[in-house]
Structure 1
Amino acid sequence: MKMEMASVNWVLAAAGFLLWTSGGSAAPMECHFDSRALCVFEGRHFSLGETWMDNACMQCTCLHPVGVGCCETVHRPVDFPAWCQVRVEPATCKVSLVQTADPRLPCYPGDDFKDPSHGSLQLQQQLGG
């Protein structure tokens, strides 16, 4: 019973740390805990307290034997036009805004640019703007 309580206390402390470190003035980053997860990623086994970065830019911490806690490592913008979308590069965890209609093109929210579905961005580009 003492071991179980110590594990639970450690998990609560670790979860609090994960939530505290992911805070800030930007949009809150999400964390989750999976009590059924094993401390294994891409064939590598991790020990209590070890961390790793998964393919979705989540930093995970082994909380063995009680599970795995993971938190986002990137701040995602929350205030941008509907014609834009957030793109996160899996290899670098770099965040960028791209146009929903053509994700190869960057999205520049603001008064100078309008929704490209109405042709104004294309017209500005043609005029050298």
Structure 2
Amino acid sequence: MMGHWPLTVLVTSLLWATCRTAPAQCHFNSQALCEYEGRSYSLGESWMESGCIQCTCLHPVGVGCCETVHRPVDFPAWCEVRVEALTCTVRLVQSADPRLPCVSHGNSLDPSHGTLGMQLGR
């Protein structure tokens, strides 16, 4: 058991380094292989999976993956989050018509700031 300590420190460091720039959800899979779309990866190598998920090979202990987009959590019920898969950008759009941006009182809501741009009703 003591022999795994250096490997555990390395795995934790690599996963932290991969995910530290994007405070999003991360997961670790000890059963996963360091392969994606027919390509094999070595220890420390990263790749981007569909859905804007960045994964890092932590061979021989598994694969660590983190979302790379910042999803807003505080916005009106009539809005929804859309993630552009090719550019990994996030937009808030109207649920009734996703072609239109989420707007309140003439101000476009910034998805990175939730409802900060909204004026409260009196």
Tell me if 1:71 matches 2:71. Answer: no
| Residues in 1 aligned to 2:102 and 2:32: alpha-carbon distance in whole angstroms | 37
**Higher Cα Rg: structure 1 or 2?**
1
1:50-75 deviation per Cα after TM superposition (whole angstroms, max 9, x unaligned): 01111110111100111111111111
Aligned residue in 2 for 1:111: 105
Tell me if 1:90 matches 2:88. Answer: no
Deviation at residue 3 of structure 1 after TM alignment: 5.1
Aligned residue in 2 for 1:15: 15
Q: TM-score, structure 2 length as denominator? A: 0.76
Deviation at residue 31 of structure 1 after TM alignment: 1.1
Deviation at residue 2 of structure 1 after TM alignment: 6.0
Deviation at residue 4 of structure 1 after TM alignment: 2.8
Tell me if 1:61 matches 2:53. Answer: no
Q: Which has the higher helix share?
A: 1
Amino acid in structure 2 at the alignment position of 1:16: W
Kindly report the root-mean-square deviation, in angstroms, between the aligned alpha carbons of the 2 structures: 1.9
Change over 3 Å in CA distance of 1:46–1:3 after alignment to 2: farther
Q: Does the 8 Å CA contact 2:79/2:102 hold for their aligned counterparts?
A: yes
Gaps of 5+ in 2: 108-122
Aligned residue in 2 for 1:29: 24
Gaps of 5+ in 1: 23-27, 114-129
Once the two structures are aligned, what percentage of the paired residues are identical?
Answer: 60
Partner SS, residue 21 of structure 1: coil
Deviant stretches of 4+, over 3 Å = none
Q: Does the 8 Å CA contact 1:98/1:105 hold for their aligned counterparts?
A: yes
Amino acid in structure 2 at the alignment position of 1:89: E
| Residues in 2 aligned to 1:63 and 1:76: alpha-carbon distance in whole angstroms | 26
Aligned residue in 1 for 2:46: 51
Tell me if 1:40 matches 2:50. Answer: no
